[in-house]
Amino acid sequence: MKLATRGGLSGLKQAAVGLALGAVGGCMLGATEDPVEKTLSLMTAAGPLKPLMDAVGTVGPLGLGSLVGAAALTMAMTSVMAGVILAAVVASVFAATRSCGASHRDSVGLWVSAGLAGAFGTTLSGATFGGLSEWIVQSYGMLGLLWTLSVFTVFKPPMRFLFRLLWKQGEACCSLASSLDRAREREDLETTELQQRHRVTLQIEERILTLDRGGGGGDGDGSTDPRTAWATERRQREELERRRMENEEAEMKQRTFQDWINTIVSRHVDFLAFSGIPMTVVAVITSGFGLVGFGRHQSVFIVLLALVAGIGYYLLKSPDFKYWMLVGCMGMLATFVIALLTLHAGQEALTAATKTRAAGDDLSKEAIRTRVNYQSSLEALHAAFFVSRTCQLSLGATVGGALVRRDAGEVKVIAGSALVAGTLLAGVEVLAPVLGDGGTAGALLGVVGAAGVSVGAVAAVAVRWSQWAGTVGTVAGLVVGAVGMGKWHFVNIGLQIPVAYVFAMTNPL
């Protein structure tokens, strides 16, 4: 369903409709807050935090923060992109194998199939990565996670070429099937047209013979007015011409739609292959300093700052600037911030412990070290979880905004993605005992990405209204719905919505 967002509704009606649409997206975003917070509280218990606390002494607080941040962001970006690519594959197959009418682009079946595939793919990949990360950390510690992250980042660019090769082969097969269907349709039309021409020729010959014999106004058997027969033939010719035009229009729309899908796949495969490299480089270098005994040294901070500034400058000044470069820079900056927060939390814990000891409490060095490591690990996990959740929401918002600009239908995108996200949320909560803490956390982040599609669509709709009343109503519905359903988590939601809005307005193509 499409709305006349640029006009056709009064200001009051625009505000009311915008308020309802905004509330749908906002309520879905708010509904994810409590389950995510509960899962995070389980992950910050003493048992799950022990590998992180041990890693503080190995790679230092800066190394721990950058490693946890890079791993969390890589997992979030990979799961979202996996969902987007799966949705594109389903849409491509649907477009190539279905009979395409003039309204095929707006086919409900196509958008429903692609949306379900994307949301399910994001959630499933998030659960897989989350469970795998938890197993690696519990079995091999944070150094195992570092090696896994490094190997995964190295192998992603070659996997990009393999995926493109497979995509071209699949596209060729689908195109062949579609071309055969089109050829059969054209052959049927040509056969029908030839039959009609032959029939008209016979009628004309019979009419001429009748006139030569001095017959009346009927046709060969004298039972039908020739003008009635010719009018029938004219209507049939017009019907054939209409079908021919519809098939040509549908073929052109299908080709345009397929080109759009190919562009999406190309951009997001590049994103998947390269966006994690800056974050991983920062994590590897910072962790390397920690391994050689400079985990808390001030020089690490200077090197880290110079590294982030250098990579960011090089990417942003690239003459061939791409979407993955922008998101890669933002992910690298987020990794840097997580590392700083981890270091700051440890320093605050050390300062508090020193004051307590100076006040007369008998705290051993081991107790102080444990407290510092605990606070550092806790902050690293909290910050990384929040950033990865915001990343999932933002990338989902990018998809939602693009769909609305594509005229996929505002109501379909907002309500459909919210419904899918709600269903997935209920399913994840039911399967939480089976998935474990890590798998549940990854799956919930996938649900947040699905909810982000609805939020991004709401943001795009807010911009498209022809009057300020519609824009204000939509934004108000989004904020009130998110805060109210999210149990008044003003800080979390207040930080997530502006970032999601920025990404919804970004064109990744």
- Find out whether 388 and 73 touch, Cβ atoms under 8 Å: yes
pLDDT tens per residue, range 146-189: 898 888 888 888 888 888 787 777 666 666 555 656 666 666 66
192-225 burial string, b = 16+ CB within 10 Å, else e? eeeeeeeebeebeebbeebeeeeeeeebeeeeee
Q: What percent of the chain has pLDDT over 70?
A: 78
- Find out whether 391 and 77 touch, Cβ atoms under 8 Å: yes
DSSP 270-285: HHHHHTTHHHHHHHHH
Calculate the CA 405 to chain-centre distance.
15
Instruction: Please give the single-letter amino acid code of residue 53.
Output: M
Q: Which stretch, 88-92, 123-127, 351-355, has highest mean pLDDT? A: 123-127
pLDDT tens per residue, range 392-439: 888 888 888 888 887 767 788 888 888 888 888 888 888 888 888 888
Task: Give CA–CA dist 177/482, Å, rounded.
Answer: 45
Q: What per-residue confidence (pLDDT) applies to 272?
A: 81
- Answer whether residue 240 shows pLDDT above 80: no
284-307 burial string, b = 16+ CB within 10 Å, else e? bebbebbeeebbbeeebbebbeeb
Instruction: Please give the single-letter amino acid code of residue 398.
Output: T
pLDDT tens per residue, range 291-340: 877 766 667 778 888 888 888 888 888 777 777 888 888 888 888 888 88
How many CB atoms within 10 Å of residue 490? 11
- Mean pLDDT (the chain, rounded): 79
Q: Among candidates 388, 367, 379, 465, which has minimal Cα distance to 78?
A: 388
Task: Give CA–CA dist 148/133, Å, rounded.
Answer: 9
Q: What per-residue confidence (pLDDT) applies to 3?
A: 63
Q: What per-residue confidence (pLDDT) applies to 175?
A: 61
- Give the confidence band of 101 by pLDDT, cuts at 50, 70, 90: very low
Rounded to an integer, the average pLDDT of 77-85 is: 85
How many CB atoms within 10 Å of residue 176? 11
470-480 burial string, b = 16+ CB within 10 Å, else e? bbbbbbbbbbb
Q: What per-residue confidence (pLDDT) applies to 100?
A: 45
Instruction: Please give the single-letter amino acid code of residue 313.
Output: Y
Record the pTM: 0.80
Q: What per-residue confidence (pLDDT) applies to 6?
A: 54
Assign residue 215 a region (left: φ > 0; alpha: ψ between -120 and 50; beta: otherwise): beta
Higher pLDDT, 98 or 345: 345
Q: What per-residue confidence (pLDDT) applies to 98?
A: 61
Calculate the CA 54 to chain-centre distance.
35
